[in-house]
Structure 1
């Protein structure tokens, strides 16, 4: 009986630690998109997660390790959201639905829950190799998701078109967020959407 109780207690502690770890990663995933990698500090993340600074090292060996997990979580969330949009639309309208969601005013305004490529792209080249590897995998996954919506999926033409589409989508959101004129911001995303949806993918 004592062995069972000890195992139950140990399992409960492990589950609680996992939940805390996930909470820290979730907070960090939002923070890097809001403030950038350089603007995301351990103390602020732990405070926002409702934890002490000292508890950090029981979850991560370094700040870089936390940033890598945060990037992975942000990337996974972004692809999952896009896949959900695609799945909820008729097959021949899936890509247009994805484009409309990505190039929407709502996405432009939702910095900390939006696409990590648009929020962090220019910073990524200066990050640790593990962060760059995660982002590279995300770019490949996002391009593949786009290519899969094409009738010629599997062909080089579909892959190239997907890379162009992804580059245009991300670039449009980056610029739409950068300018201080709402009308220009709207024009940037709308122009990209019009071009991508009228190009026949």
Structure 2
């Protein structure tokens, strides 16, 4: 078999990173390089022509997930409240609970980075920036959005851990209601003072 072109090699690398990003969010970073490469349809040996180590792939997969998310999250300032409410509702949905691989990198990588101090240190800047950006999208007035993000990520983690039991959907509903209720109350309060 002949050598692949530079363009093809770059396309292969991008497919590996995108696939790894999805698989790591869904199953954790314990997913093997061999499994990622098999899913992409490339050989395990080809991995080392593209990446120095699995840790490098994890770093790129995390960065890819946040970049992908940012590309889909632009909003005009006047649309902030509607976009914020949609973000909360989508985040705390049964679909998001059931599709971790296509979901938020904040929740998708939190457990793995919490368990692996070396990987966490390598990926920390990208992850921290991603957390701050997500919280900023939830911000209202004097509130920086961090508490809402913590509520959302915690509720999603609990809902995933209890999937298959009715409490899973109760958790999602309770968090969604609490966050959207507080948003409505803040909006009404702000309108009264204007």
Q: Under a length normalisation based on structure 1, what TM-score does the superposition of the two structures give? A: 0.80
Tell whether 2:143 aligns with 1:158: yes
1:42 Cα deviation after fit? 1.1
Structure 1 partner of 2:190: none
Q: Does structure 2 conserve the Cα–Cα contact (< 8 Å) formed by 1:119 and 1:174? A: no
Tell whether 2:87 aligns with 1:98: yes
Structure 1 partner of 2:71: 80
Structure 2 partner of 1:4: none
1:180 Cα deviation after fit? 4.2
- In structure 2, what is the Cα distance between the partners aligned to 1:117 and 1:30? 13
Q: Give 1:33's match in structure 2, choosing from 11, 16, 25.
A: 25
1:111 Cα deviation after fit? 1.5
Tell whether 2:47 aligns with 1:56: yes
Q: Does structure 1 conserve the Cα–Cα contact (< 8 Å) formed by 2:26 and 2:99? A: no
- In structure 2, what is the Cα distance between the partners aligned to 1:177 and 1:28? 20
Structure 2 partner of 1:43: 34
3-state secondary structure, aligned to 2:143: helix
Encode CA deviations 1:136-192: one digit per residue, 9 max, x unaligned.
121011112222xx3x3xxxx221xx0001001111100000014432111101100
Q: Does structure 2 conserve the Cα–Cα contact (< 8 Å) formed by 1:108 and 1:176? A: yes
In the alignment of these two chains, the number of paired residues is 177
Q: Give 1:69's match in structure 2, choosing from 60, 65, 79.
A: 60
3-state secondary structure, aligned to 1:108: helix
Q: Give 1:135's match in structure 2, choosing from 123, 127, 134.
A: 127
Structure 1 partner of 2:192: none
1:90 Cα deviation after fit? 4.2
1:121 Cα deviation after fit? 1.1
Map 1:97-136 → 2, pairs under 5 A: 97-125=86-114, 126-127=116-117, 128=119, 129-136=121-128
Q: Does structure 2 conserve the Cα–Cα contact (< 8 Å) formed by 1:28 and 1:45? A: yes
- In structure 1, what is the Cα distance between the partners aligned to 2:165 and 2:55? 35
Structure 2 partner of 1:8: none
RMSD: 2.0
Distance 1:47 1:181, change over 3 A: closer
- In structure 2, what is the Cα distance between the partners aligned to 1:180 and 1:16? 40
List gaps (5 residues or longer) in structure 1.
1-11
Distance 1:140 1:92, change over 3 A: closer
